[in-house]
């Protein structure tokens, strides 16, 4: 039987880059094909070509044995292709039904009233058929991220798509939501929908897909059935060399407390108390991992610790010195390094050259400042050194940092924060959106800092990251720290349960542990 979709020799050039180099792809009916590759490998370009957002320079697209020209998303939809973007294309103030209708509004003639009820009925039908469980009358703004993604899927199914493209769909989901998504996708597959699933997470690719295609630097470098593949081999194909998937680390040499947080209260922009009486202590030479699903107050918690948000109550000290509501500059002076959650918004000045980004929080001090003047020579000298030491891939120190890949941008931040003596490192989602190679590197750097006696506060929604790096784990749920445990005492499943709201005791009882110690001893 002919494949549902075939791409032949797709080639796309951008100025200076060969984004897709004669790519061939086959998608069978009722199959989940994973497209695996690092950021910038060309996965998204290929899918954008398929969806009509880019025009290929060469190659052809064949759908059900027929050659087609796709000149825009409208053509793609007509051919039964639907795409769920990483960033949702939904209007928050409208209802689910209205969002689904948008762009395809059917109306009663002659007065052109929207057929809301008919569409809502169809949504209920689709919902039941695929186990999507979405209320058609709910406003999108009231829905959780996971449900919003289902609305996107319904939007696509409503337009009768039978080829579904999902671009990094789990990036925004909690582990539980991701599991639910996988269930939905398996059910769709059973009903004959063919799915292309873009990802750079090895574990979920192996869990979900039937077949994996690995893309590196615009070329297909490998294709395999998932049952024949393992993580290490896929990672190697993806990066082009052997990668360490887990960080080698010795036992922590725990020293004196560095950061002490007592009863911290912080509000978000809507004046909700989202950090609700948090107390924590981080010692020199240890990694304290704060685990939690996005939106449980971690963002505001970190902002308060780094001087970007006002502390409403409580006390923060570093080595006994009160730094509650200190300014970012005072904290830098006190030896705090901060790897911010949103590197492009907070951590970098994208228009500035790489060299200048190395000094955005130290430019006012010698040797970079000489009186009122900027000392270019010192900045240039440091830039050359850091680019070399941290292996930052950039044509020169003077191109805007926006030209660098995400992984290299993050390396710029890490290099900058590690270029001065520090006592405390606050890292918020330090590897979000990065490829395997960069993740390995950043993790190793964090552990090196720990071993050098720095207190590391790691905040992450990636369970693997928390489990792999932390010496102790604190779970944050609804603005409170619900548990602090030794990392060795708990399993991934148990932390996952706590992230979803279980207490430590419940989690220890419900899921298999990894510690031999009795529950009572851990509690």
Partner 1 sequence: MDESSVSAGASESSNVRSKKKSSNLTSALVVPLLAVFTALVIGALLIAFTDPAVLTAWKNFFGDPMGALTATWNSIAVAYGALLSGSLGLVEIWKALGVWLHGGGTEALSVALVPLAESLTTSVPFIFAGLAVALGFQGGLFNIGVEGQLLVGALSSVYVGYHFPGLPIYVHLPMAIMAGFIGGAIWGAIPGLLKAYTGGHEVITTIMMNWIIISISAWLLKVGGPMSRGELPITPEVLPSAQIPQLFSTQGNRFHGGFFLAIVVAILVYWLLYKSIKGFEIRMLGANFKAAVYSGINVKHLWVFVMALSGALAGLAGTVQALAVDRWVGMGFSGGMGFDSIALALLGRSHPLGVVLAALLFGTLRNGATRMQSVARIPIDIITIVQALVIVFIAAPEIIRWLYRLRQPEGEETPVFSTNWGS
Nearer to partner 1, 114 or 374 (CB): 374
Pairwise CA distance, residues 325 & 136, whole Å: 45
Q: Least Å distance between CB 90 and partner 1? A: 21
Residues in contact with partner 1 by CB under 8 A are: 15-16, 306-308, 327-332, 338, 340, 345-352, 356, 360-361, 363-364, 369, 372-374, 377, 380-381, 383-384, 396-400, 402-403
Q: Least Å distance between CB 59 and partner 1? A: 24
Nearer to partner 1, 185 or 379 (CB): 379
Q: Which of 139, 124, 128, 132 is nearest to 181 (CA)?
A: 132
Q: Least Å distance between CB 303 and partner 1? A: 10
Q: Dump the DSSP string for 504-517.
A: HHHHHHHS--S--S
Beta bridge partners of 313: 265
Task: Find all residues with CB under 8 Å of 53, minimum gap 6, and list them.
Answer: 72, 73
Q: Least Å distance between CB 353 and partner 1? A: 9
Pairwise CA distance, residues 505 & 519, whole Å: 8
| Helices assigned H by DSSP within 191-317 | 202-208, 231-239, 298-305
Q: Least Å distance between CB 323 and partner 1? A: 13
Token representation of residue 106 = 């059917």
Nearer to partner 1, 383 or 473 (CB): 383
Cβ proximity of 214 and 222 under 8 Å:
yes
Nearer to partner 1, 53 or 484 (CB): 53
Pairwise CA distance, residues 107 & 116, whole Å: 8
Q: Least Å distance between CB 357 and partner 1? A: 9
Nearer to partner 1, 226 or 375 (CB): 375
**Which helix (H) or strand (E) element contains residue 462?**
none
Nearer to partner 1, 31 or 341 (CB): 341
**Which helix (H) or strand (E) element contains residue 178?**
helix 175-190
Nearer to partner 1, 42 or 479 (CB): 42
Pairwise CA distance, residues 491 & 346, whole Å: 33
In whole angstroms, what separates CA 59 from the centre of its chain?
A: 32
In whole angstroms, what separates CA 239 from the centre of its chain?
A: 18
Q: Least Å distance between CB 426 and partner 1? A: 12
Q: Least Å distance between CB 342 and partner 1? A: 8
Nearer to partner 1, 142 or 384 (CB): 384
Q: Dump the DSSP string for 307-322.
A: TSS-EEEEEEEETTEE
């Amino acid at each position: 039987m002919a494949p549902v979709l075939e791409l032949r020799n797709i080639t796309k050039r951008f100025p200076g880059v060969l984004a897709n180099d004669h790519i061939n792809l086959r998608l069978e009916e009722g199959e989940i094909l994973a497209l695996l590759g690092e950021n910038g490998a060309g996965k998204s370009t290929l899918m954008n070509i398929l969806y009509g957002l880019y025009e290929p320079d060469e190659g052809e697209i064949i759908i059900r044995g027929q050659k087609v020209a796709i000149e825009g998303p409208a053509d793609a939809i007509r051919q039964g292709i639907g795409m769920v973007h990483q960033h949702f294309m939904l209007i928050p103030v409208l209802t689910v039904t209205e969002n689904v209708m948008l762009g395809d509004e059917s109306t009663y003639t002659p007065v052109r009233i929207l057929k809301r009820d008919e569409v809502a009925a169809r949504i209920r039908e689709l919902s039941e058929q695929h186990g999507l469980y979405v209320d058609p009358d709910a406003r999108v703004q009231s829905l959780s991220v996971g449900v919003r993604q289902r609305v996107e899927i319904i939007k696509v199914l409503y337009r009768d798509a039978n080829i579904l493209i999902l671009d990094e769909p789990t990036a925004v989901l909690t582990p539980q939501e991701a599991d639910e998504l996988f269930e939905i996708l398996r059910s769709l597959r059973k009903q004959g929908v063919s799915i292309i699933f873009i990802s750079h997470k090895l574990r979920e690719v192996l869990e979900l897909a039937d077949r994996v295609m690995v893309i590196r630097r615009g070329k297909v470098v490998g294709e395999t059935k998932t049952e024949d593949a393992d993580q290490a081999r896929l990672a190697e194909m993806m990066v082009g060399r052997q990668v360490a998937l887990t960080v080698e680390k010795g036992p922590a040499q725990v020293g004196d407390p560095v950061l002490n947080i007592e009863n911290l209260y912080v509000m978000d922009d809507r004046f909700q108390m989202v950090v609700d009486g948090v107390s924590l202590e981080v010692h020199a030479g240890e990694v304290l991992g704060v685990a939690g699903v996005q939106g449980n107050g971690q963002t505001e918690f970190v902002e308060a610790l780094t001087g970007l948000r006002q502390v409403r109550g409580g006390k923060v000290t570093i080595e006994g010195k009160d730094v509650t509501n200190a300014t970012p500059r005072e904290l830098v002076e006190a030896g705090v390094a901060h790897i911010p959650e949103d590197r492009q918004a907070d951590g970098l000045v994208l228009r500035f050259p790489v060299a200048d980004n190395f000094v955005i929080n130290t430019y006012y001090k010698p040797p970079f400042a000489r009186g009122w003047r900027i000392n270019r020579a010192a900045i240039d000298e440091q830039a050359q050194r850091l680019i070399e030491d941290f292996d930052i891939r950039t044509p020169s120190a003077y191109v805007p940092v926006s030209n660098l890949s995400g992984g290299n941008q993050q390396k710029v931040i890490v290099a900058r924060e590690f270029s001065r003596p520090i006592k405390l490192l606050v890292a918020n989602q330090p590897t979000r959106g990065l490829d395997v190679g960069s993740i390995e590197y950043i993790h190793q750097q964090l552990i090196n800092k720990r071993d050098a006696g720095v207190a590391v506060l790691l905040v992450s929604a990636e369970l693997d990251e928390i489990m792999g790096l932390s010496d102790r784990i604190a779970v944050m749920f609804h603005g409170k720290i619900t548990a602090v445990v030794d990392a060795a005492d708990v399993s991934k499943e148990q932390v996952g349960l706590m992230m979803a709201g279980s207490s430590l005791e419940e989690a220890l009882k419900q899921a298999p542990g990894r510690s031999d110690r009795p529950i009572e001893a851990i509690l």
